[in-house]
Amino acid sequence: MHPYTKKEMMDLITGKLRRNFGRDVDEATSLHMFKACALVIRDMMSERNIKTQDKLAKSHARQVHYLSLEFLMGRSLMKNAYNLGVLEPLKEAIEGLGFSAADLFESEPDAGLGNGGLGRLAACYLDSMTTLDIPATGYSICYELGIFKQKIVDGQQVEVPDNWLGMGDAWLIPKMDEIEEVRFGGHVEDVWDCHGNHSVKHTGYDSVLAVPKDMEIAGYGTEQGNTLRLWDAKSPQPVDMSLFSRGEYLKAVERQAMAETISKILYPEDNHYEGKSLRLKQQYFFVSATIQSIVHKHRAEYGTLRNFHEKHVIQINDTHPTLAIPELMRILLDEEGYSWDDAWHIVTHTVAYTNHTVLAEALERWPQQLVIDLLPRIWQIIVEISNRYQAELTAYFHGDMATVEKMAIVWGGDVRMANLCVCACFAVNGVSALHSGILKKEVFHNAWLRTPEKFKNVTNGIDHRRWLSECDPKLDALIRDCCGGDRYLLQPEALRDLEKYQDDASVLERLDAIKQENKRSFAAWLSRESGIVLNTDAMFDVQVKRLHEYKRQLLNVLHIISDYQHLREDPGYLAVPKVYLFGAKAAPGYQVAKRIIHLINSLADTVNSDPICKDKLQVVFLENYRVSLAEKLMPASELSEQISTAGKEASGTGNMKFMMNGALSIGTLDGANVEMHEVLGDENIFLFGLRANEVSELKAKGYRSYEYYMHDSEIRSVVDALSRGFRDGVSYDDLTKRLLFGNGCPPDEYLLLADFSSYRAAQKRASETYLDRKRWNQMALHNVARSGIFAADRSIRDYARDIWNVPVRTIGED
């Protein structure tokens, strides 16, 4: 790529200001400047994308289509400029035009297209696919408001709209010539001609237009360009003119409003029929538009769909895009006229499924009647798949209907999406070694026995260029000095070279100084944003992730309460001062999770107001946790809380980001923690708690949390504190009862009290180690050095080799 100078970048930016906004630099606002910079960068990516498409048209290479209801992209200006190799001249140009580059980057809103690890993983994978020269496209919905913006009011989460498109639309390129029509409802009739040929007539349906808005993706150190295609929902009839003319203005735009609701927000609440209906509409809308788009381009290029499975692989990220399976069948049967067997062969050699959870409630099931009402033709196809599959299972398992029931696609009035994936997909993968093992042994055990060749493992990975080099530039500089320059950016295994410096006092001291400076930088930012003043001399103990009971933020809280109680009795109790930092969003309808957020804030208010805790103990809940906040927090973190109940976390990717930034982990052997432990050894991680098999055994024997409460005075004191409440007068007796007696669930379902003492002991070990600065810094160095295996580039190479069967760029021979 052309090496741009400061002057060239200034000329490009001023040109955009004049042509697109009618402004000279001295008239431009920061919004104009941001959008002008974004458009300049977007043009560079578009040029790459056109060259990539030209190359693809000649090579006819197999393409990867990555379908995910979430893509948590975060901010794009700095990331895209970094990948294009123009970050420094861009910064210089912005400063040269009289603006602050840092302020401009900070002004960009996070693209709120995801909720947590699922969406962040998808974003990392798009980056790596592009960097590794894999022709790939991501697909999702262009949510107008995305995930909500979290406000904490009186200690409680309040959800407010997050209108990211005000500035974020600068990255989107509408493709009005590639609009697709998606149909809902109506009636389906079977039609037979005089030759006995079957066709389907769909009448009385409602149409929604899917408008593609493409976000260009730049890879690092390559000319490859890929795309994230986001579908925006529009009505084909914006206004009913007859109603409008009669003065019925609201009714006149009702159809438009109903259509646009589909792409309004991510994950509408589904504890009522309307919410379920909207979620199902979202899922079908985005997969139908996607499959139609892929098919139309393929047919235009090849004139047939007979070779579709040879030229495309469709990877569905969790169960949300499962309807891609019957939708592709619909097109092959109804529009192409293929036989069932021919269509099924193409589908089952095209679609692969990544499972992300072992939680039963997350393995989606849709009410049968809802599918019938909204998607009548899709329902017919699902029933046919289900009947054929059930007949095969009945024969294979010799009429064992108990086994067939577990594996059935349609059963008991529900449509089971995970079972449909297992039936139709040519590959099913978990996202960590432990998780993939659980899928085989428990969740999909009988399917694995029947088709073991389908089941794979691809451990998750993260974009190490973003999560290390970009967000921790001082650590990046140290690595470059020790590991042969920037080699690790494309060869993350080169981080291992850091191990050579484990006894080098100057390197360890520099590593420690970097961490302390990062802590001060984060504290300064937080003080500016919220007025909260952190004690930077304390250990930063961090738990940031989606709020769910199995992730056990409540266990962390119980531990802090215990520390606080001991500190009240003995002001010299804590040898190491601690700052506990929490960040989490709870799903709007998940009341227990929202109560835990309230509890964290009640505890923070009590602890932070007590003079005994000054400079010893501090608790902070970080409002509106998001990608851009994580990019500031990860480099400053020292102890990473990865404390989920063993066997419940599929993988986790936050654990990898902390590890890569030199934080030490305190955690259970759950998810990717298992593989982290394998590369780190016992000596570089603080393990505690029951293992997955021990969790199963304890539950099988009959876990009684009340006995732990009765026989352990420390547990009893902490749990009683929840019931008594805190300085704000709020009691959490409901959480106490949930721990001891259950409330619509088993008592202490995620075994907090069983792991409490072990967790406390691990925390004590971490504090003791923290006092030995050399040992702590050596452990931090080993964490960074051994984190290369968790780079997304490695994950994508695994997918390419084991599932997609596509070639990847060979690094070192470019």
Residues serving a catalytic function are 356, 545-546, 551, 653, 657
Q: Which of 466, 790, 464 is nearest to 652 (CA)?
A: 790
Residue 543 three-state SS: strand
Q: Which of 426, 331, 329 is nearest to 384 (CA)?
A: 329
Cβ-based neighbours of 672, under 8 Å, separated by 6 or more: 431, 432, 459, 460, 651, 652, 653, 655, 656, 790
Structure tokens at 445: 């055990």
Beta pairing partners, 233: 210
Q: Which of 97, 271, 285, 105 is nearest to 184 (CA)?
A: 285
Pairwise CA distance, residues 309 & 424, whole Å: 13
Pairwise CA distance, residues 204 & 194, whole Å: 25
Pairwise CA distance, residues 433 & 436, whole Å: 5
Pairwise CA distance, residues 339 & 542, whole Å: 56
H-only helix segments in 232-375: 241-245, 249-252, 254-261, 273-302, 308-311, 324-330, 340-347, 368-374
Pairwise CA distance, residues 414 & 31, whole Å: 49
Q: Which of 143, 135, 113 is nearest to 52 (CA)?
A: 135
Q: Which of 57, 345, 56, 134 is nearest to 803 (CA)?
A: 134
Pairwise CA distance, residues 440 & 455, whole Å: 8
Distance, C-alpha 19 to centroid of its chain:
37
Amino acid at 530: S
Amino acid at 710: M
Q: 210 and 181 in contact (C-beta within 8 Å)? A: yes
Residue 734 three-state SS: helix
Structure tokens at 487: 């080699």
Pairwise CA distance, residues 517 & 474, whole Å: 9
Amino acid at 225: G
| CA separation, residue 51 to residues 57, 85, 135, 223 (Å) | 10, 18, 12, 8
Burial per residue of 11-32, b for 16 or more beta-carbon CB atoms within 10 angstroms, e otherwise: ebbbebbeeebebebeebeeeb
Helix pair 87-96, 6-21: axis angle to 10 deg: 60
Tokens 């039936």 -> residue = 423
Q: Which of 89, 94, 159, 106 is nearest to 631 (CA)?
A: 106
Pairwise CA distance, residues 96 & 81, whole Å: 17
